[in-house]
A and B are shown apart, each in its own frame.
Chain A
Amino acid sequence: MINFFAGRLLGLLSVVLAVVSITFALIHLSGDPIDALAPPGASPQDRDNLRARYGLDEPVPVQYVTYLADAVRGDFGDSWRQDRPALPAVLNRLPATLALLGAALGIATVAGVGLGLISALYPQRLMTALVNIVALAGQAIPAFWLGTVLILVVAVRWRLLPASGLDGASSVVLPALALAAHPLALITRLLRLGLRETMAQDFIRTARSRGVREGRIVLGHAARNAALPVLAYLGLQASFLIGGALVVETVFAYPGIGSLAYDAAVSRDLPIIQASVAVIAVLIVVIHLIVDLVARMIDPRLIAADASPVARTAVSS
């Protein structure tokens, strides 16, 4: 198991390294980065000064090595628009983004597992149809639009919750709800599918023949088995979920990494974007690792197989 995680860690490090290299390429994609850096109408002298100030006068390979060496030490250079280092600016916003993600995942898990279990326990048509509609709507409604509607109804009409910013726990609720719709739908669908398959298996029949109550069979026997694919898929969806969080943040003017990266994109502040991409990539990679760990706790057979459910799902589902 230690070997397995050491191997995974190495693989993940190589992924992070690749992501950081890609962020370096971002600066040079447009040809001359000075066009984005210098204010319009800057004199050639000013442009040269700026070039020297941000190390853009070196040959590109030298810049790349310097960039990598600095990035490893946690230095992504200074913001182009504000006089402050990029990485601390991004890390400052991380707790807010994590709070939003945590709240959304919490809502999605509780509601999704609830709906999935209900539809497995009561397989009548009406219930199935209801759960179907929730799952389809959750997948089709874009998070940023749901956010807009929530602002309109809950914040503006009913004046129940704040419409924007971050001022106490109540301002996390609306963005978290907007973000939760999609993972909620996914969890419901996957759990129902998994439960349906598990309920047809022999050990469930054995439990039934022993006279175990149906509720206990679903909760105690089947749910554990059905949880694994849900977990692995959620790990795989981390990237999608975080992307959604970034958009929802800008809708609610929520001070997380998303709104920071958005402002940076609008003002073409590339160092902030680079640091945001790197921080998010590390976050996603860590999530994948945690999902693998939790999967092992749910299903000890994985330890013997030395398998990574996320990696397997990533290439198989």
Chain B
Amino acid sequence: MTLSAPATGSRSGGMVTPVGEPAVMLRRPRSWRQTGLTPGGALGLALVAVLVIVAVLGPWLTPHDPARQSLGDRLQPPVWSGGSWDRPLGTDGLGRDLLSRVIDGARVSLLVGVTATLVAGTIGVTLGLLAGGLGRRWDRAVSWLVSVELAIPSILIGLGIAAALGTSLRNVIIVLVITGWVAYARIVRLQARALWSAAWMDAARAMGAPPGRLLVRHLLPNLAGPVIVVASQQVAAMILYEASLSFLGLGVPLETITWGGMMNAGREQLATAWWVSTIPGIALALTVLAFNLTGDWLAERLR
């Protein structure tokens, strides 16, 4: 596997030019094809960008207070099915503004997704490196841990933790980390084993580099590509799991606004007010789609 450094830094529009590159690189690429951006990748990156902006600027973007109830405005439909522009996506059973709640819910989704991905990624990459770079015994131990984890569905881990420890944002992240590390460990182990016998690894060994240095300074930087690809797919999976748990009422506590919790709350009014449950579902599906598309594009790009 070869890693092209500029690829990891490229943005949706032009190229991020690394410092010290010839000035020719600064020219805008003449066509989409030159950026390597596929329609799917562009859509994915654009959606991710929107999501990040919405989540970061959330409190300034919400047209109404997402938690304020207004019983006179209960179950207002969205603007395209007879609602008003004051409440573009309608209101829920307590008269709370759905657009504001969807915007606010994006914060939790992204926070949980990114935090769990970072922690699980760190653990998974470490275990994968140990398995792929330190010989048979480590390899067996980590592979066994992987099969133990695979034998318990994440949702059951979530149910178990919720039953034993109660529900909290922290517990949700713990559940996601327990399920998330496997994906990284698998890919890193495989790549590490493949690179182990590369010529430059032999050279580093011949220079007398100790095993720890071999792993961290020589092997690790070359694993960045596959790890980034897995990470972008994992953010989607983590957000989906958080939503499932919150939907069941066993994830983030109800006081916090989450898409999963909103979808659950709207289920009672499904027959009379479809939008309450459906709109956060669309936000969730678009988010998962965004990270999946970005992951697919990165996979193609960094291969």
B277 contacts the other chain (CB 8 A)? yes
B200 contacts the other chain (CB 8 A)? no
Provide the A165-192 mask, 1 if CB < 8 A to any CB of B, else 0: 0000000000000000000000000000
Task: Report chain B residues within 8 Å CB of A250.
Answer: 248
Q: How far is the CB of B149 from chain A (nearest CB, A)?
A: 8
Is the CB–CB distance between B288 and A139 below 8 Å? yes
Residue among A239, A243, A270 making CB contact with B163, cutoff 8 Å: A270
Alpha-carbon distance A277/B158, docked complex (angstroms): 11
A69 contacts the other chain (CB 8 A)? no
Q: List 19 extra interface pairs beyond A142-B284, A144-B247, A315-B186, CB under 8 A.
A: A15-B148, A27-B164, A36-B163, A140-B285, A140-B286, A140-B292, A156-B270, A239-B153, A243-B156, A246-B155, A258-B155, A265-B162, A265-B250, A273-B163, A280-B152, A280-B156, A284-B152, A311-B147, A314-B146
Alpha-carbon distance A149/B281, docked complex (angstroms): 10
Within 8 A of A (CB), among B243-299: 243-244, 247-250, 263, 267, 270-271, 274, 277-278, 281, 284-286, 288-289, 292-293
Residue among A137, A156, A276 making CB contact with B156, cutoff 8 Å: A276
Interface of A is mostly: helix
B154 contacts the other chain (CB 8 A)? yes
Is the CB–CB distance between B156 and A314 below 8 Å? no
Residue among B190, B263, B277 making CB contact with A316, cutoff 8 Å: B190
Alpha-carbon distance A15/B146, docked complex (angstroms): 10
Alpha-carbon distance A174/B297, docked complex (angstroms): 33
Q: How far is the CB of A92 from chain B (nearest CB, A)?
A: 18
Interface of B is mostly: helix
B107 contacts the other chain (CB 8 A)? no
Q: How far is the CB of A288 from chain B (nearest CB, A)?
A: 8
Is the CB–CB distance between B153 and A243 below 8 Å? yes
Task: Report chain B residues within 8 Å CB of A27.
Answer: 164
Question: How many interface residues does chain A have, given as a range?
Answer: 35 or more
A45 contacts the other chain (CB 8 A)? no
Closest A residue to B156 by beta carbon equals A277
Is the CB–CB distance between A314 and B284 below 8 Å? no
19 A-B pairs (CB sep. < 8 Å): A14-B144, A15-B151, A22-B148, A30-B165, A140-B288, A141-B288, A144-B263, A145-B277, A145-B278, A265-B248, A265-B250, A269-B163, A277-B152, A277-B156, A280-B151, A280-B152, A311-B147, A315-B189, A317-B186
B160 contacts the other chain (CB 8 A)? yes
Q: How far is the CB of A26 from chain B (nearest CB, A)?
A: 5
Is the CB–CB distance between B155 and A145 below 8 Å? no
Alpha-carbon distance A22/B278, docked complex (angstroms): 37
Is the CB–CB distance between A240 and B160 below 8 Å? no
Q: How far is the CB of B249 from chain A (nearest CB, A)?
A: 7
Residue among B146, B152, B154 making CB contact with A19, cutoff 8 Å: B152
Closest A residue to B132 by beta carbon equals A315
Is the CB–CB distance between B150 and A246 below 8 Å? no
Closest A residue to B282 by beta carbon equals A145
Is the CB–CB distance between B248 and A280 below 8 Å? no
A247 touching B155 in the complex, CB below 8 Å, given contacts A26-B164, A27-B164, A262-B248: yes
B143 contacts the other chain (CB 8 A)? yes
Is the CB–CB distance between B146 and A16 below 8 Å? no
A11 contacts the other chain (CB 8 A)? yes
Is the CB–CB distance between A136 and B244 below 8 Å? no
Q: How far is the CB of A137 from chain B (nearest CB, A)?
A: 8
Is the CB–CB distance between A15 and B156 below 8 Å? no
Alpha-carbon distance A190/B43, docked complex (angstroms): 22
Is the CB–CB distance between B270 and A141 below 8 Å? no
Is the CB–CB distance between B289 and A136 below 8 Å? yes
Residue among A14, A26, A156 making CB contact with B271, cutoff 8 Å: A156
Alpha-carbon distance A217/B244, docked complex (angstroms): 43
Task: Report chain A residues within 8 Å CB of B144.
Answer: 11, 14-15, 18
Is the CB–CB distance between A261 and B159 below 8 Å? yes
A268 contacts the other chain (CB 8 A)? yes
B240 contacts the other chain (CB 8 A)? yes
Is the CB–CB distance between A151 and B270 below 8 Å? yes
Task: Report chain B residues within 8 Å CB of A23.
Answer: 160
Residue among B161, B163, B190 making CB contact with A315, cutoff 8 Å: B190
Q: How far is the CB of B103 from chain A (nearest CB, A)?
A: 19
Task: Report chain A residues within 8 Å CB of B249.
Answer: 266
Task: Report chain A residues within 8 Å CB of B189.
Answer: 315
Provide the A7-29 mask, 1 if CB < 8 A to any CB of B, else 0: 00001101110110011001101
A198 contacts the other chain (CB 8 A)? no
Is the CB–CB distance between B146 and A242 below 8 Å? no
Is the CB–CB distance between B267 and A142 below 8 Å? no
Alpha-carbon distance A136/B294, docked complex (angstroms): 12
A96 contacts the other chain (CB 8 A)? no
Task: Report chain B residues within 8 Å CB of A269.
Answer: 163
Closest A residue to B244 by beta carbon equals A247
Task: Report chain A residues within 8 Å CB of B277.
Answer: 145, 148
A18 touching B148 in the complex, CB below 8 Å, given contacts A136-B293, A148-B263, A261-B159: yes
Q: How far is the CB of A128 from chain B (nearest CB, A)?
A: 12
Is the CB–CB distance between B244 and A315 below 8 Å? no
A152 contacts the other chain (CB 8 A)? yes
Provide the A238-252 mask, 1 if CB < 8 A to any CB of B, else 0: 011011101100100
Task: Report chain B residues within 8 Å CB of A266.
Answer: 249-250
Residue among B155, B278, B288 making CB contact with A149, cutoff 8 Å: B278
Q: How far is the CB of A261 from chain B (nearest CB, A)?
A: 5
Task: Report chain A residues within 8 Å CB of B154.
Answer: 239-240, 243
Residue among B147, B150, B164, B243 making CB contact with A11, cutoff 8 Å: B147
Is the CB–CB distance between B153 and A246 below 8 Å? yes
Is the CB–CB distance between B186 and A316 below 8 Å? yes
A30 touching B164 in the complex, CB below 8 Å, given contacts A140-B292, A284-B151: yes
